[in-house]
Structure 1
Amino acid sequence: MKQDAGVRRAGKLSVDAKATPFGEYDAALIKAIQERWYYLIDNSTLSPRSGKVVLEFNLLFDGRISDMKLTETEVGEALGYLCERAVTDPSPYPKWPLDMHRIIGGNVRPVKLTFFYF
Structure 2
Amino acid sequence: MEAIQLRAPGGLERLEIVDLPDPGAPEAGHIALIGVLTGPAGPVPTAGLTVRQQRLQGLIVGSRQHQQDLVRALNVLPIRPVIDKRFPLVDLAEAFRLQQAGGHFGKICLEF
- TM-score (normalised: structure 1): 0.28
Bigger-Rg structure (1/2): 2
Bigger RCO of structures 1 and 2 (CA < 8 A, at least 6 apart): 1
Structure with the larger helix share: 1
TM-score by length of 2: 0.29
